[in-house]
Structure formats: C-alpha cells, structure tokens
Amino acid sequence: MTAPAAATPVLEAQDLAKRFPVAGGIGGRGRVVHALNGVSLSVAAGETLAVVGESGCGKSTLANCLTGLMAPSAGSLLLQGEDAALMLRREPMRFRRRVQIVFQDPYASLNPRRTIGDTVGDALRIHGLAARRERRGRVGQLLAEVGLAEEHLDRYPHELSGGQRQRVAIARALAVEPVVVVCDEPVSALDVSIQAQVINLLRDIQRRRGVAYLFISHNLALVRHIARRIAVMYLGEVVEIGTAEALGRRMLHPYSRALFAAAPAIGRPSHDPPHLDPGRPPPLSGDVPSPIDPPPGCRFHTRCPHARPRCSAEAPALRLVDDRLVRCHFAEEIAGHG
Amino acid sequence: MTALLEVEGLSVHFETARGVVRAVEDLSFAVERGQTVALVGESGSGKSTAALSLLRLLPAGASKIAAGRVRLDGRDLLALPPRQLRDVRGAQVGMIFQDPMMALNPVYTIGRQIAETLRLHLGLAGPAAEARAIELLRRVQVPAPEQRIHQYPHNLSGGMRQRVMMAIALACRPALLIADEPTTALDVTVQAQVLALIDELKAELGMAVLLITHDLAVVWETAQRVIVLYAGRKVEEGPVGRILTRPRHPYTAGLLRAAQWAADGDRLAEIPGTVPSPHAMPPGCAFAPRCALAEDRCRRQAPPLRTLEPGHVAACFRAEEIAP
C-alpha cells in the first residue's frame, strides 16, 4: 500500500472484516451478511478522511468497528500504533477517551431526560476529567466552543433545534479531548442553512485542536471540500481511495463515477436531467445487491456499465492506478476514455 | 387558457395549546399543464402543509384552511363535497410521498393495492385489473412485475416501493402529480433513476408535476418554475434558471450560498440563526432576524411580493440590491 497513505496514522484499520449471522427465517440458517470485507484505511492527526457510499455499503458498520462499539470479525485496528482490540479489553476507557463518535440523529443520541449540562458533564465525570465543582464551568466552556450559550446548560434536548442538538453532541465528543472523532452523517438530518453552520464549526474545531475526523457521508459534493482524502465504499469494500484533489479531478472506478454523476448539482452546463445529458454517465440501473450473497468476482459487476466476463469470475484487488488506489480490472482503460 | 392548477390566497392554520400557528399564509401560485413546479423550503416552511391542503388531506379538527381557493381545471377543490373530492384524488391528481413504507399498506400485496385504485376509479376488477397492475409496474421499471404483484411492501427496497407508489399514483393517468419529497429517503443513484422516470412519464402522459423538496439541486434538474417558501410565506418565485442563478431574495441567495464553497474552498456561507418559532413570529419580515440586509422597515412591516421582471416576484424591500 503506497501513495495516498496518511502521514502518521492515529487510527489505522488493516483488512477489517465484519460478518453478521442472519437470524431466524426459514432456510436462513448458516447465512451470513458480509458487511465489511478487507477494509484498510487510516487517518492522520489533524486530517479529515471521508468515507462515502450509499445504503448498505458498510459505512456505518465501519464507524462502529472503528469506535470500538462493534468487534470486527477479522483484521486489526491500531490506535496511535497500539492494538485497539487489546486496549478495549484491558483499558476500554483509555480507548474511548481518544476515539469519539458523533451520530446522524442527535435526538436519538442524547438522553431526553437529562439536561444538556448533565449530558456533557457526564463525559467529564465518567473519565474523571473535572472535579464536581469545576464541572459546570468546564461544560460552559465546551458549549461556548460549539456556539451555544450558558443558558443552554439547563435545557433539555427537546427544547433545542436540530442544529443545536448536533452542537451538543459535538461538545460531548470534544469533552474528553479525543484524537479522532468519527462523524457518522453528522449533517444529513439538518436543513441546508444549518448544515453550513455545523460544517464550518467542525472545521474551526479541527484547526484549533488538531483533531482527526473520519467523516462518513453519502454526499460526494460535500466531502470533496472538507476532506483531504476520500474513500468510496460499495457493498462492504473500498473501491477507490485517494486525495480529494485527485478524486475531484476525476474518478476512476465506475461506481465512484456513477455516484458522482447521479448527484444533482446546480449550474451543471446542461439544464437537462441526468439521463438526457450526453456528457454524463447514465444512471446506474438496479439496486445494490444483498450483502447476504454478494455477487462473485467484482461486487459491482451486476450494475457496472463496463462489466466483462472477467469481472464476474475474478475479484479485483485494490491497486495503485495513477495517483490513487482502485479496485477495478479495467481502471486504466476507463481512465483512458477520460 | 387557464392554468391546470390555480391556488389563490391559501392560508392554513393549526390550533395548538399555545395559540394559532399560521403554517401557510396567503399563498398563491399556478401550475400549467405539462410543467414541473417546485415548492421549496426548509423544515417548517409550510411546503408539505400547503401540498396536503390542496386535496384537503390534512387531519380535520386541528387544522383549518382559513382562506383561499384551489382550482383544478376550473373546479374549486376546497368547495367540493367529500364524495366528488374523492373522485379527484387518485384519478385527476396522483400523489407520492417521501416514505412509501408509510403510504403503502403493509398487510396487502402490491398487486391488491394497485388494483384497489383501478377498481375505485376505473371499475376494473379481476384479471383485467391484475393485467393492468402488471403493465403499470412494468412502466415504472419494476423488474419481474408478474411476481412482484404477489409480494408485500416489506419485500421491496426503498426505490422499488417508491416505484410502486408511482404506479398507484399514475394508474388513472392523472393530470397532476403531487410529489412530496419523493426521493429524499433514497440513495442518489436510485434518486437519479426515480427522477428520470418521473420526467419520462410526465412527457408521456402530458402530466404536470408539483414537486415539494428541500433540495435546490433537484429543482435545478427537474423543474421549470420554483416557489421558495420561508416560515409559511412565499418569498420568491420565478423560472428555475433565473431564481437559482440570480436570486432576488436574501433567503434564496443564502440557501444557494450555503451549498456552495468559497473560492478557496475553505468555508460555507452560513445563514445565521434558525427559522423563527411559529409561536413567536417576528413582526415585519420573518427573515429579518437572519438577514444581513435587514433595516428598520424590514422589522416593522412585512415586505409585499413585488414583480421584478415578468414572471419573477420576490418579497423584499431591497431585492434590487442583491448582487446577481
């Protein structure tokens, strides 16, 4: 693995796999969901790595594995060079102080019966980071850092707007001074005008604290600007990974290309819908196949406009093509076509 | 020729424990035959309430259509007796929603749900209805429709369910399709498929579409006219190509900038603050507390909608000053 590797990784996944047995159902015995398969990626101090993909690509399972909320079935996870599985077994609090998570829906991740002050204060209390007397003041500072006021300390989640709730979730994650925050679709549930506020806030925090983000999203247009590197996932595998600059210039994997082309954008030269625009790859047909029985060979071949016999027989490896890693037998050829 | 749908002065109010919420206030617009008109806004803008009121689908009791007229082909839908209104729903106007799982009945097969519409409005039954249901599913690009009609909603993916809803909505070849956030719950590759399908069917059936969405990029690629709502009121309306490139209302301009990056790619332009609570609407312009251009008169009196160019209206005293 060369080229787009991170400088000094703070969090590094090597060949991570996660399989779930399928529960119940007639004839369902012995069947397995392959949620993650051979995922290797890393994030360096102070940088943002974005992971993009659609439903079922495994991005949320990846978030859960990286934050120790789920044990991977295979592969390893290193936190600042240390074996994370071991750390989670022996000193779980040490792991959790360094790796935090912000979820998509802050309403579901905040306790509705506790005040904002209590929720953020809990993080400090549990990790023994502030004496009881100092706690309220420290929580006040954290709220100020995420753009909330002193008056929010005694409010409950239902009294806040969606954007404010997400700020609380961010403050709670920051309370323990983590080195990595996994952001799992942190703005997807917010209105556009509020999304911008939260994205800018995450940026300011990163500048100030040097925290690394693993930013999970389905929105390619958004991550191209906030991430230094991007990993595109499909059906449990990384299909393309490289710098945002390289991928922004052009995508080489047919799925990355289709994903980007499918996203509507204001000001595309052709005012026509995607299927009438000759300069744009046609929309993909069909749905993402079931991860219970992923297709043999390349997992994307059932929907790929460039698929050939080799694709259904032989699984492509993630390999270096130009300035990024791509999982496609014919990446050079596709690149040649522009 | 008059427009297919004409909405005039529509106001919808909700009675709540904390007082009357004016969810939609004095909304007027028209949809021409064969045209797609987008109703856009963020949470609480009143876009879904407005769409639901057109067919009087809001729960009676709590909500009240306080004023207005909704004319479809010249007939006032708000004055129709319930029986006649039922004939309009599903026959002349089809509707699809964001979450097809909520709109489809989980205990009936797909085939039966499509057949119900065919029986109610077209009097089709038995094998004729089944054959038509299969044909409709094929038209909305559901693979293997002969098998699908025997399946239940939970057997289908989100994209497939949305297609089934479209099959039901289009069963009677409606003149108007109301699509309330039809692709918001779908992945982008599936969204592209569904939007392309709506477009094809629109051309084929000569249907008009009222698209309710929060996504301006979807508006750009699918609609001809756009109406921007803020806190229950129309703040701007015009042709999509103009509104999304040269907006004249600070809210529209702010929404567009919030999704675009500064030249150095460093920051997004925020709209500060949040939508006012419906219980504490500011006097004057509802957007004034978040607006960089707001001045005294904006806080005192609500700016009226003004025509800036033919077909382009905006409700802002300082519309002319907004940089193109």
Q: Contacts of residue B191 in chain A, CB cutoff 8 Å?
A: 262, 264
User: What does the alpha-carbon distance between residue A41 and residue B29 come to, in Å, rounded to a whole number?
Assistant: 52
* Per-residue confidence (pLDDT) for residue B100, from 0 to 100: 79
Q: CB–CB of A170/A146 below 8 Å?
A: yes
User: Model confidence over A137-170: pLDDT tens digits?
Assistant: 999 999 999 999 999 999 999 999 889 999 999 9
The series of mean pLDDT values per 10 residues for chain B, 324 residues long, is 90 90 94 95 90 89 87 92 90 88 90 92 91 92 90 88 91 93 86 88 92 93 95 96 95 89 72 86 93 95 95 96 76
As for the ipTM of the complex, it is 0.82
Query: Residue A83 pLDDT > 90, yes or no?
Result: yes
Q: Contacts of residue B46 in chain A, CB cutoff 8 Å?
A: none
Which of B158, B196, B245 faces A274 most closely, judged by CB atoms? Answer: B196
Structure-block tokens of residue A98:
């360094």
Which of A196, A264, A275 faces B270 most closely, judged by CB atoms? Answer: A196
Phi (first) and psi of residue A146, to 5 degrees: -100, 15
H or E element, residue A36:
strand A32-44
Query: Residue A107 pLDDT > 60, yes or no?
Result: yes
Q: Give the nearest chain B residue to A198 (CA atoms).
A: B270
Mutation site for B-interface testing, chosen from A193, A223, A287 by largest number of B Cβ within 10 Å? A193
Q: Under an 8 A CB cutoff, do A193 and B42 touch?
A: yes
What residues contact A247, with CB distance under 8 A and at least 6 apart?
A: A224, A230, A232, A240, A256, A324
* Per-residue confidence (pLDDT) for residue A14, from 0 to 100: 96
Distance from CA of B183 to the nearest CA of A (A): 12
Q: Give the nearest chain B residue to A259 (CA atoms).
A: B189
User: Residue A176 carries which DSSP code?
Assistant: T
User: What does the alpha-carbon distance between residue A101 and residue A172 come to, in Å, rounded to a whole number?
Assistant: 9
Which of A54, A200, A264 faces B270 most closely, judged by CB atoms? Answer: A200
Instruction: Indicate the domain borders of chain A.
Output: 9-265+282-336
Closest CA to B219 of B229, B231, B211: B211
Which of B188, B196, B275 faces A275 most closely, judged by CB atoms? Answer: B196
* Per-residue confidence (pLDDT) for residue A191, from 0 to 100: 87
User: Model confidence over A37-75: pLDDT tens digits?
Assistant: 999 999 999 999 999 998 889 998 999 999 999 999 999
What residues contact B238, with CB distance under 8 A and at least 6 apart?
A: B225, B226, B309, B311, B312, B313
Q: For residue A229, name the pLDDT band (cuts at 50, 70, 90).
A: very high
Query: Residue A277 pLDDT > 70, yes or no?
Result: no
Mutation site for A-interface testing, chosen from B274, B275, B287 by largest number of A Cβ within 10 Å? B274
Query: Residue A269 pLDDT > 70, yes or no?
Result: no
Which of A162, A195, A264 faces B217 most closely, judged by CB atoms? Answer: A264
With an 8 Å Cβ cutoff, is B204 touching chain A?
no
Q: Under an 8 A CB cutoff, do B222 and A197 touch?
A: no
Q: Under an 8 A CB cutoff, do B258 and A259 touch?
A: no
User: Model confidence over A164-176: pLDDT tens digits?
Assistant: 999 999 999 999 9
User: What does the alpha-carbon distance between residue A199 and residue A222 come to, in Å, rounded to a whole number?
Assistant: 9
Closest CA to B177 of B196, B205, B142, B217: B205
Q: Count chain A–chain B contacts defined by CB atoms under 8 A.
A: 110
Which of A161, A197, A259 faces B188 most closely, judged by CB atoms? Answer: A259
Q: CB–CB of B129/B137 below 8 Å?
A: no
Q: CB–CB of B182/B162 below 8 Å?
A: yes
CB atoms within 10 A of CB A53: 28
* Per-residue confidence (pLDDT) for residue B249, from 0 to 100: 97
Mutation site for A-interface testing, chosen from B202, B211, B215, B221 by largest number of A Cβ within 10 Å? B221
CB atoms within 10 A of CB B140: 22
The per-residue pLDDT of chain A, averaged, comes to 89
Which region, left, alpha or beta, applies to residue A27 given φ > 0 means left and ψ of -120 to 50 means alpha? left
Q: CB–CB of B258/B268 below 8 Å?
A: yes
Q: Under an 8 A CB cutoff, do B220 and A267 touch?
A: yes
Q: For residue A328, name the pLDDT band (cuts at 50, 70, 90).
A: very high
Q: Give the nearest chain A residue to B244 (CA atoms).
A: A266
Q: Under an 8 A CB cutoff, do B195 and A274 touch?
A: yes
pTM: 0.88
DSSP string for residues in B4-58 = SEEEEEEEEEEEETTEEEEEEEEEEEEE-TT-EEEEE--TTSSHHHHHHHHTT-S
Containing structural domain, residue B116: 99-171
User: Residue B316 carries which DSSP code?
Assistant: -
Distance from CA of A317 to the nearest CA of B (A): 24
Q: Give the nearest chain B residue to A55 (CA atoms).
A: B187
Which of B143, B192, B254 faces A262 most closely, judged by CB atoms? Answer: B192
Structure-block tokens of residue B11:
């106001």
With an 8 Å Cβ cutoff, is B43 touching chain A?
yes
Domain count, chain B: 1
Instruction: Indicate the burial class of B166 (C-beta count within 10 angstroms; 0-12, 13-18, 19 or more).
Output: buried
Q: For residue A289, name the pLDDT band (cuts at 50, 70, 90).
A: confident
Phi (first) and psi of residue A195, to 5 degrees: -55, -45
Average pLDDT over residues A262-286: 67
With an 8 Å Cβ cutoff, is B215 touching chain A?
yes
CA B315, distance to chain mean position in Å, is 20
Q: Under an 8 A CB cutoff, do A265 and B216 touch?
A: no
Q: Is residue B10 part of a domain?
A: no
* Per-residue confidence (pLDDT) for residue A2, from 0 to 100: 42
Average pLDDT over residues A301-318: 94
Q: Contacts of residue A266 in chain B, CB cutoff 8 Å?
A: 216-217, 220, 244, 256, 259
Q: Give the nearest chain A residue to B193 (CA atoms).
A: A283
Instruction: Indicate the burial class of B116 (C-beta count within 10 angstroms; 0-12, 13-18, 19 or more).
Output: middle
* Per-residue confidence (pLDDT) for residue B95, from 0 to 100: 92
Closest CA to B240 of B260, B255, B215, B219: B219
CB atoms within 10 A of CB A89: 11
User: What does the alpha-carbon distance between residue B207 and residue B187 come to, in Å, rounded to a whole number?
Assistant: 25
Give me the count of residues in chain B: 324
Provide the angle, in degrees to the nearest 10, between the axes of the packed helices B158-170 and B110-122: 10
Mutation site for A-interface testing, chosen from B156, B187, B198, B240 by largest number of A Cβ within 10 Å? B187
Q: Contacts of residue A264 in chain B, CB cutoff 8 Å?
A: 191-192, 195, 215, 217-218, 220-221
* Per-residue confidence (pLDDT) for residue A337, from 0 to 100: 59
With an 8 Å Cβ cutoff, is B256 touching chain A?
yes
* Per-residue confidence (pLDDT) for residue A1, from 0 to 100: 43
Closest CA to B37 of B193, B206, B178, B171: B178
Query: Residue A6 pLDDT > 50, yes or no?
Result: no
Fold of A9-265+282-336: Rossmann fold (3.40.50)
Mutation site for A-interface testing, chosen from B188, B225, B226 by largest number of A Cβ within 10 Å? B188
Query: Residue A268 pLDDT > 90, yes or no?
Result: no
* Per-residue confidence (pLDDT) for residue A4, from 0 to 100: 47
Distance from CA of A335 to the nearest CA of B (A): 21
Average pLDDT over residues A100-117: 92
Mutation site for B-interface testing, chosen from A217, A251, A287 by largest number of B Cβ within 10 Å? A287
Q: CB–CB of A247/A230 below 8 Å?
A: yes
Q: Under an 8 A CB cutoff, do A266 and B187 touch?
A: no
Q: For residue A3, name the pLDDT band (cuts at 50, 70, 90).
A: very low
Q: Under an 8 A CB cutoff, do A197 and B270 touch?
A: yes
Q: For residue A30, name the pLDDT band (cuts at 50, 70, 90).
A: confident
Helix ranges (H only) for A5-115 are: 59-66, 84-90, 92-98, 106-109
Q: Under an 8 A CB cutoff, do B261 and A225 touch?
A: yes
Q: Give the nearest chain A residue to B189 (CA atoms).
A: A262
Structure-block tokens of residue A172:
């709670």
Average pLDDT over residues A26-35: 74
Q: Under an 8 A CB cutoff, do A275 and B218 touch?
A: no
